[in-house]
Chain A
Amino acid sequence: MARSSSHLSQAVLRTEGTAPRRGFFRLRDKQREAIAGYLFLLPWFMGIIIFTGGPVLTSLYLSFTKYNLLSPPQWIGWANYQLLIHDEHYLHSVRVTLTYVLFSVPLKLAFALLLAMALNRGLRGLAIYRAIFYVPSLLGGSVAIAILWRQIFGPDGLVIKALSLIGIHTYSWVSSPNTALWTLILLAVWQFGSPMIIFLAGLKQIPPEYYEAASTDGAGSWTQFWKITLPLLTPLIFFNLILQMIGAFQAFTPALIVSGGDGGPVDSTLFYTLYLFIQGFGDLHMGYATAMAWVLLVVIAIFTAVAFLTSRFWVFYQDERG
Chain B
Amino acid sequence: MALPEDVVVQEHSIELPTNTTNAKGRPRILTHILLVAGGFLMIYPLIWMFGASFKPAYEIFTNQGLLPQHPTGINYVQGWNALQFPFWYYLWNSTLVCLGAVIGNVVSCSLAAFAFARLRFPLRGVFFAVMLGTIMLPYNAIVVPQYVLFLNLNWLNTFLPLIVPKFAATDAFFVFLLVQFFRTLPRELDEAAKIDGANYWQIFWRVVLPLATPALATTAIFTFLFTWNDFFTQTIFLNNQATFTAPLALRAFLDSTGQSNYGALFAMSLISLIPIFGFFIAFQRLLIEGVATTGLKG
Q: Interface on A for B, CB 8 Å cutoff?
A: 18-19, 21, 24, 30, 32-38, 40-44, 46-48, 50-56, 58-59, 62, 69, 115, 118-136, 138-139, 141-145, 147-148, 150-152, 154-159, 161-162, 165, 190, 194-195, 197-198, 200-202, 204-205, 208, 211-212, 236, 239-240, 242-243, 246, 249-250, 252-253, 256-257, 260-261, 272-273, 276-277, 280-281, 286, 289-290, 292-294, 296-297, 300-301, 304
Contact = CB atoms under 8 A, between A and B. Distances in A.
Contacts of A19: 197
Contacts of B115: 36-38, 40-41, 44
A134 B140 contact: no
The interface size bin for chain B is: 35 or more
Interface string B279-291: 0100010011001
A123 B108 contact: no
A208 to B, nearest CB: 4
A296 to B, nearest CB: 6
Contacts of B127: 41, 44
B298 to A, nearest CB: 4
B70 interface: no
20 contacts: A33-B120, A34-B120, A36-B199, A37-B119, A40-B115, A56-B141, A62-B145, A69-B151, A118-B35, A121-B31, A135-B46, A135-B280, A142-B273, A143-B231, A148-B269, A156-B61, A158-B45, A201-B292, A290-B145, A296-B140
A126 B15 contact: yes
A120 B18 contact: yes
B168 A246 contact: no
B165 to A, nearest CB: 4
Contact of B122 (A18, A34, A155, A197): A34
Given A147-B250, A202-B296, A211-B21, A37 B231 contact: no
Contacts of A41: 111-112, 115-116, 127
A239 B295 contact: yes
A293 B145 CA distance: 11
A236 B232 CA distance: 28
B211 interface: no
Q: Which of B18, B141, B259 has the most CB of A within 10 A?
A: B141
